Amino acid sequence: MSGVTLLVSVVGVFLAVAAIVAAVAAFAGSLVPRGTSLQWAGRSTGALVVVALAPFMAAALVCLALLTPGLISGCHCVEHGLHHPHLCPVHPALALPLTAPAFFFVVVWALFVAPRVASLLRDVAATVAWRREVVRMPRQRLAGTEFRLGECGAFGAVTVGLLRPVIVIDRRLAETLTSTELRAVVLHEERHARRRDPLTMLVLRSWEAICPWPGAQALTARWRTAAELDCDAHAARRLEDGTLVAAALLAVERFRSQATSCALPAATVAVSTSSDLELRVRALLDNTVPPARGVNDLVLAATVLLVLGVLMAFLPGEHTHHVVESALGLAFRVR
């Protein structure tokens, strides 16, 4: 049971820290005047992913500091005494005072997020099933990019697949577009595939499900808009004319307004979002979206977490370890 005691305690601490950081972030966000334009956020999809995953990253770092109080220092239980609970892999039984409150917190949290997680799992299952159908669709190649012609309905064009994204263009949409417009759509989706945007979207939606804090959906939507702008800019650079991409977006929007609805998995990334259409067209015509690095946004977030984790574990890990454990002991009146 000692291993279970440690696991439940760590999970409880993880969720508690994530909730606190999320609440602080939501409060700080409420202090920002409405209408304030955060230009950096609109230009950096990677930065948006880091911000969206900030509660998760903070909680992960705290748990790392608790479990590794200085990776080269070993166990500190004896040095710190027994005036507070310890989360130590060497002595997992010392986490016993946290087990009951942590278990209660984990159960309440699980019941709260269960409907969201179930909805996400249904979307993932539908995505996997739809991708199996996608790979059997007729293959086409344009501008050096492979895509499938199939049925996407009102979405028009999507990129689906986590590790091996597949581009799908609605057959009826392809028939209505000019050759240049079709090339612009394919190049746009090519950028989504290279960035692995479906994978990033799934990670962001997963975090929304297990940590539903105010503003999480808004950050994900903002990341999606920034991703669309980057993919538009990529297509404009390849075509050497942003007006051609803008014309393609308008053509896709006309198709979407006339097409019947089609319920595709939510983890897909569509080429056009009507609420962002004006912003995207204006950015293309004004050429205000600068070139961006083709690095997956999750890679940036993981790099930030890795660097902070190394600093946390090797430099201030022992101090953070002791402070957090002391705070836990104070909160639960452990003496």
pLDDT in tens, 142-171: 878 899 888 877 778 888 888 888 898 888
Q: Decide if pLDDT at 236 tops 70.
A: yes
Rounded to 5 degrees, φ, ψ at 144 are 75, 10
Q: Decide if pLDDT at 128 tops 70.
A: yes
CA distance linking residue 18 with residue 208, whole number of Å: 12
| Per-residue model confidence (pLDDT) at position 178 | 92
> In the predicted model, what is the mean pLDDT of residues 29-39?
54
pLDDT digits (tens, 9 = 90+) for 178-192: 999 999 999 999 999
Residue 9 structure tokens: 């305690």
CA distance linking residue 227 with residue 231, whole number of Å: 6
What is the rounded average pLDDT for all residues in the chain? 77
> In the predicted model, what is the mean pLDDT of residues 58-83?
68
Better-scored residue on pLDDT, 274 or 149: 149
CA distance linking residue 66 with residue 218, whole number of Å: 32
**Which spans in 211-276 are helix H?**
216-239, 242-258
Q: Decide if pLDDT at 56 tops 90.
A: no
| Per-residue model confidence (pLDDT) at position 292 | 59
Q: Which helix (H) or strand (E) holds 158?
A: strand 157-160
Q: Decide if pLDDT at 322 tops 80.
A: no
Please, is 162 exposed, middle or buried when counting C-beta atoms within 10 Å of its C-beta (0-12, 13-18, 19+)? middle
> In the predicted model, what is the mean pLDDT of residues 113-139?
85
Q: Decide if pLDDT at 287 tops 50.
A: yes
| Per-residue model confidence (pLDDT) at position 335 | 41
> In the predicted model, what is the mean pLDDT of residues 294-310?
79
Residue 311 structure tokens: 């600093």
Q: Decide if pLDDT at 242 tops 60.
A: yes
